[in-house]
Amino acid sequence: SQTIHQWPATLVQPVGSPLSLECTVEGTSNPNLYWYRQAAGRGLQLLFYSVGIGQISSEVPQNLSASRPQDRQFILSSKKLLLSDSGFYLCAWSVSRGTEAFFGQGTRLTVV
Amino acid sequence: AQSVTQLGSHVSVSEGALVLLRCNYSSSVPPYLFWYVQYPNQGLQLLLKYTSAATLVKGINGFEAEFKKSETSFHLTKPSAHMSDAAEYFCAVSDQPSNTGKLIFGQGTTLQVKP
């Protein structure tokens, strides 16, 4: 069966520090991968998606970037965090040209 | 462009009462529709999905939803609420026909269940 791992679960970082969140998927090949952000009391905003290695699409301009160095690995990064980057970050995957997405457990990022 | 609107950011019901969470969508093509549940500090779990088969979709934990094209709605229901149903619920539509699998989410509805 397929599983998705996302880490760390919680993270407190100072303003201006770098960020690296990692997500890996097991049990499937060539998945579509996604990074969503959920701000407090708000819905989910799609940040990035990837349909293959090295293929990244950005949905909104921001202080973050994403990379997909391997088929089942998706990384969310920042060179310098802003206070506004605080939130709950969720990684997800779906079957290529499939329907539903499956989510990781999320990372609670607090920028102080 | 597709969009989802969830009516009511907070819904409160008594234990044993009917749960009704409302979702309306906008789509220029036949939509794929989903309901997800999120418990505090956790990821999203798929409750059910509509992908152009039966219009009444049954999901996990006793939930079901009915696709009504004429009303562009996909409301989530459960006949009898349980305390464990207290969570946040998201309705989502998939981005056909591009088929990247992107989901467009509503703002979410927090369900409170009172004893």
**Tens digit of each residue's pLDDT (9 = 90 or more) over A11-68:** 999 999 999 999 999 999 999 999 999 987 678 999 999 999 999 999 887 889 999 9
Tell whether B25 is within 8 A of chain A (Cβ): no
CA distance A46 to A38: 9
Instruction: State the Cα–Cα distance between residues B97 and B48, nearest whole angstrom.
Output: 21
Residue A41's pLDDT is 66
For residues B61-69, give the mean pLDDT: 96
Q: A86 phi and psi, to 5 degrees?
A: -60, 145
- The reply to whether residue A104 touches residue B43, judged by beta carbons under 8 angstroms, is yes
CB A94 within 8 A of CB A32: yes
> Distance from first CA to last CA of chain A, Å, rounded?
38
- Structure confidence at residue A91 (pLDDT): 97
Closest chain B residue to the Cα of A52, Cα to Cα:
B100
DSSP bridge pairs for A82: none
Phi-psi region of A105 (alpha: psi -120 to 50; beta: other; left: phi over 0): alpha
Best mutation target among B10, B29, B88, B103 (most A Cβ atoms within 10 Å) is B103
- Smallest CA–CA distance, residue B80 to chain A, in Å, is 26
What string of H, E and C letters represents the secondary structure of A13-62? Answer: ECCCCCEEEEEEEECCCCCEEEEEEECCCCCEEEEEEEEECCEEEECCCC
- Report pLDDT digits (tens) over B74-111: 999 999 999 999 999 999 998 766 667 789 899 999 99
Give the residue-averaged pLDDT of B32-45: 93
Beta-bridge mates of residue A66:
A76
Name which of B45, B94, B105 is nearest A44 (Cβ-Cβ): B105
Is residue A49 within 8 Å of A32, Cβ to Cβ? yes
Kindly report the nearest CA distance between residue A62 and chain B, in angstroms: 19
Digit-coded pLDDT (tens) for B3-37: 899 999 999 999 999 999 999 999 888 889 999 99
Q: Is 80 exceeded by the pLDDT of residue B49?
A: yes
Q: How big is the A-B interface in CB pairs under 8 Å?
A: 61
